[in-house]
Amino acid sequence: MNKLQKSLSVCIISVFASTVFFPSIVNADSFNKGTSTVAVSLGSGNFFNESYLILGAGVGYYLVDGLEASIDFDAWLGGEPDIYEVTPKLTYVFDNASHIKPYVGAFYNRTFIENRDDSNSIGYRAGFYSPAGGRAHVGIGIVYTELQDCTDTRFYSCDETYTELSLIFNL
C-alpha cells in the first residue's frame, strides 16, 4: 500500500468513525433554504499517466429547501503538469426523516492544465449524506463526467465514472 492509499484509508476510517459515533446530533435544518455550506474533499486521480492527490474546497447556498447551488475548486497535486478545476454545481438533497440523505446533482467543470488547452466537461452525481456530528455530513457517491469537444486521439477516454467522498459543513 503506497502513502496515498494509506492517507486515504486513514481519512475514510476517520470520517466513518465520526458518522457512527455522532449520528444523533445532526441539525434537522441542515438542507433548508438560506443555509450556507463549506466542503472539503480528498481523492486521487490519474491523468497523462501521472498519479495525483486531489484536494478540494467549496462553498454553497441552499436556494430553496433541498436545492443547493455551489462552486468547488480542486488542485491536483503530485504530478506533472499542474491541474486545477473550477466546478459550479446544483445538488438536490432529499431531506427525509432518515439519517441518510440521498442526493442527485449536475455540474459543469472547467479544467486548467499547465501548458495545455483547458477543457470543459459536464456531469451528474448521486449518492447520500450521512451525519458526522453537529452540522457536518459525510458525502459518498458516484459521479459520471463527459469531456466536451473530446476526440479519442487527444484523450484516453472521453467519459469517466468514479466515486466521491466529501465532508460538508452547514453554517
> In CATH, what number is assigned to the domain containing residue 152?
2.40.160.20
Q: Could you give the angle at the alpha carbon of 119 between the alpha carbons of 5 and 56, nearest 5°?
A: 40
pLDDT over 90, % of the chain: 45
> Looking at the 3D structure of the chain, how many domains does it have?
1
Q: In the structure, what pLDDT confidence band is assigned to residue 16 with cuts at 50, 70 and 90?
A: very low
Cα separation, 31 vs 170, whole angstroms: 8
Q: Name the nearest CA neighbour of 160 among 141, 147, 148.
A: 147
| Across 85-108, average pLDDT | 93
Q: What is the pTM of this model?
A: 0.76
Contact 56, 77 (CB under 8 A): no
Note down the domain range covering 23.
3-170
Average pLDDT score over residue span 32-36: 93
CA distances for 36 relative to 27, 83, 148, 154, angstroms:
13, 27, 31, 39
Say if residue 20's pLDDT is above 70: no
* Sign of the torsion formed by the C-alpha atoms of 108, 125, 162 and 151: negative
- Nearest Cα neighbor of 22 from 167, 142, 164 is 167
Is the model's pLDDT at 124 over the cut of 60? yes
